[in-house]
Amino acid sequence: MERDQAALFERNRLAELKNRLFAQERAMKDERRKLWEIEKDSEEAYTVWSKLEILSTYIAGYVSQIVTSGHTRQEPRDVINHLHQLSIFDFDCIVDWYRSSEAEYPKIKQFFELLDYIRLLTLEYVERYQLLEMQQK
């Protein structure tokens, strides 16, 4: 498979996964509301609900840029560093919640898993196509 065809295939795959992510987001509406109700008065700097919002916004934003134009508007190295910082299971509030809420929030857990998978694919895409292209110039 040629490089351009491979990039297009990966962009289409990211588009499919983003659509699946949005479908899961709609399906977890009740769980999300329940989580927000529990955490809305929290004194913690970061809650699972707030991290869910922030992480999904950043990651979906990068995916949208790639799907639409084949690249991100930001410098590849900045995107790569940011995607590393967005590693979902590096946040203590998520890890603690993840271990203790298996039965109560299965849809949110699936959402986090898919979101992290998409983050990794996006990271790989930027490294493979944008960073490599930049280095070849």
Q: How many Cβ atoms sit within 10 Å of the Cβ of residue 1?
A: 8
Q: Residue 44: its pLDDT value, please?
A: 83
- pTM equals 0.90
Judged on CB neighbours under 10 Å (0-12, 13-18, 19+), 131 is middle
Number of domains in the chain: 1
Place of tokens 């498979």: 1
Average pLDDT score over the chain:
91
Closest by CA to 69, choosing from 123, 120, 25, 8, is 8
DSSP assignment letter at 87: -
Measured between alpha carbons, how far is residue 38 from residues 35, 56, 109, 112 in Å?
5, 20, 16, 18
pLDDT category of residue 131 using cuts at 50, 70 and 90:
low
Which domain, by its residues, includes 115? Answer: 3-136
Res 26 pLDDT > 70: yes
